[in-house]
Structure 1
Amino acid sequence: MIRVESLYKSFGEEPVLKGITTTFEQGKTNLIIGQSGSGKTVFLKCLLGLFTPEEGRIFFKEQAIDEMNIDQQRKLREDMGMVFQGSALFDSMNIEENVMFPLRMFSEKPREEMLERVNEVLARVNLEGVNSKYPSEISGGMQKRVAIARAIVNNPSFLFCDEPNSGLDPRTAILIDNLIQEITKEYNITTVINTHDMNSVMEIGENIVFLEKGVLAWQGNNREIFMTDNKNVTNFVYSSDLFKKIREIQIKEK
């Protein structure tokens, strides 16, 4: 679990996050959504420790980051997995080397044990037998699955995903969403996903944080979001013809 209390972050005279208080639940897919400029990327970077807030606190497993010593902060970083927007695979490394990279960074296991773990997570994302291929030789969807395998290879307690469906076709995006949700539940991870993809909200939005101009404007799940009276949320959700039709159907069925 991750708990955030009264988080403020500014750049110069420009406030970006304005007193956010929320909880991201363990074993659930927690989504951060909002319009461009709402502060969701800055919020994610604060959770990752890349930005330091001026005020407020972030707790991982009930321990505040600002109370951790250097060793504790290092162990926390080791306990985090990250799926980047563009997969961020190393072009000069094959798939096996890419997935093994966190193990080489954070463990002293023999290579045989590391390879066994690499093959285990590749099998988990349905990518057996691609070890010797390079990122340029596989599809965008496969690259995302490799990125997920790399993110979970160290058995993290916390998984962060930044726009994991960026650049994917709708069918592949749904497969990636489902894979992330399955892994979250299987390993009982606290997963936080920064996204603008409403399909992800529909498919896996178990706990959704909606930001509006740096403020937490709404929080709920993927059932509640379609029935909220919050105008900022409804404007965001129903900005496409698809969701206008969904709204009409739901109102008729009530």
Structure 2
Amino acid sequence: MIRCENIFKSFDETEVLKDISIVFESGKNNLIIGKSGAGKTVLLKILVGLLNPTSGKIWYDGHDFTSLNHKELQKLRNEVGMLFQGSALFDSMTVEENIRFPMDMFTKKTKKEKKNRVNYCLERVNLEGINDQFPSEISGGMQKRVGIARSIVMEPNYLFCDEPNSGLDPKTSIVIDELISNITYDDNITTIINTHDMNSVLEIGDNINLLHNGKLAWQGTKSEVLKSQSEELVDFIFASPFLKKLRGQAIDEL
């Protein structure tokens, strides 16, 4: 579990985050949604320690993340997996080398142990046998799955996903959502997903947090989205007349 308490963030005179308090639960798909400029990326960077909050606290399962020293912070970061928006694979490395990279950097595992772990992670994302291929030789969806495999290779307790479905077709996006969701449930990971994908919101959104103008405007679950009267949520999710019509039909059927 990760808990944010009264997070504020300013850049010079501009206040980007305003009193954000959220609990991200273990074993759940915790989503952060909102329009561009709402503060999602800044919040994600603060959660992983790339930015410091102007004020406020972040707790990782009882540990005050904002007050850890360098050694403690490095230890905790070994428990964090990150899936980047563009997969961020190394073009000059094979799939196996990309997935193995965190273990090469931060563990003393034997070559055999690393190989076994790589193969296990490839199996988890349904990509067995592509160890020796390069990123340029596989599709964008497969690259994203390799990114997921690398993000879980260190057996993280916390998984951060930045726009995991960016640039993917709808069918592949569903596959990625299911993989992330299944891994979250199976391994009881605290998963935080920054997304614009409404399919993700409505399919895997266990806990949904809407940011609007730097504030937490709405919280709820996927089952509560269609019934919500939040003006900010309705404006964000049902922006088009077609989607607003679908929402009206869904409410009539409740």
Instruction: Tell me the CA shift for residue 223 of structure 1.
Output: 1.1
Stretches of structure 1 that go unaligned for 5 or more consecutive residues are none
Q: Using the alignment, how far apart are the partners of 1:240 and 1:208 within structure 2?
A: 21
Alpha-carbon deviation of 1:228?
Answer: 1.1
Aligned residue-pair number? 254
Question: How far has the Cα of 1:227 moved from its partner?
Answer: 1.1
Q: Shift of the alpha carbon at 1:248?
A: 2.4
What SS class does the counterpart of residue 192 from structure 1 fall into? strand
Distance 2:54 2:95 in 1: 40
* Structure 1 residue 240: Cα displacement: 2.9
1:184 and 2:184 correspond: yes
1:17 matches 2:17: yes
Counterpart contact for 2:16–2:214, Cα < 8 Å: yes
RMSD: 0.9
Shift of 1:243: 2.5
Q: How does 1:1-254 map to 2 (within 5 A)?
A: 1-254=1-254
CA distance in 1, matches of 2:206, 2:105: 33
Q: Hey, what's the Cα distance between the residues in 2 that align with 1:240 and 1:160?
A: 29
Q: Distance in 1 between matches of 2:90 and 2:226?
A: 40
| 3-state SS of 1:223 partner | helix
Tell me the alpha carbon deviations over residues 180-217 of structure 1, each in whole angstroms, 9 at most, x when there is no partner: 00000011000000001111101110000100010001
What is the CA distance between 1:3 and its match in structure 2? 0.2
- Contiguous gaps of at least 5 residues in structure 2: none
Any idea what the Cα deviations from partners look like across 1:78-129, whole Å, max 9, x if unmatched? Answer: 1000000000000000000000001111100111100100000001100001
In the TM superposition, what is the alpha-carbon distance from 1:251 to its structure 2 partner? 1.9
Which SS does the other structure have where 1:249 is aligned?
helix
Q: In 1, are the aligned partners of 2:208 and 2:219 still within 8 Å (CA)?
A: yes
What's the offset of the Cα at 1:22? 0.8
Tell whether the 8 Å contact from 2:89 to 2:98 is kept in structure 1 after alignment: yes
TM-aligned CA deviation for residue 75 of structure 1: 1.0
Q: 2:227–2:251: 8 Å Cα contact kept in structure 1?
A: no
Q: Give me the whole-angstrom Cα distance separating, in 2, the residues matched to 1:78 and 1:133.
A: 27
Q: What are the superposed Cα offsets for residues 135-182 of structure 1, whole Å, 9 maximum, x if unpaired?
A: 000000000000000000010000000000000000000110011000
* Aligned mates of 2:98, 2:244 — CA distance in 1: 42
Say if 2:7 and 2:20, in contact at 8 Å, map to a contact too.
Answer: yes
Counterpart CA distance in 2 for 1:245 and 1:159 is 35
Conserved 8 A contact 2:102-2:154: yes
Cα 1:210–1:128 shift into 2, 3 Å? same
User: Which moves more between the two structures, 243-252 or 159-168?
Assistant: 243-252
Note the C-alpha offset of 1:241.
4.5
Aligned equivalents of 1:200, 1:88: Cα separation in 2: 21
CA distance in 2 between counterparts of 1:241 and 1:78 reads 45
- Structure 2: distance between partners of 1:245 and 1:133: 46
Q: CA deviation at 1:242?
A: 4.8
TM-score where L is the length of structure 1: 0.98
Q: Distance in 2 between matches of 1:58 and 1:95?
A: 34
SS of the residue 1:103 aligns to: helix
How far residue 245 of structure 1 moved from its aligned partner, in angstroms, is 3.6
Counterpart residue type for residue 243 of structure 1: L
Task: Indicate conservation of the 8 Å contact 2:226/2:251, yes or no.
Answer: no
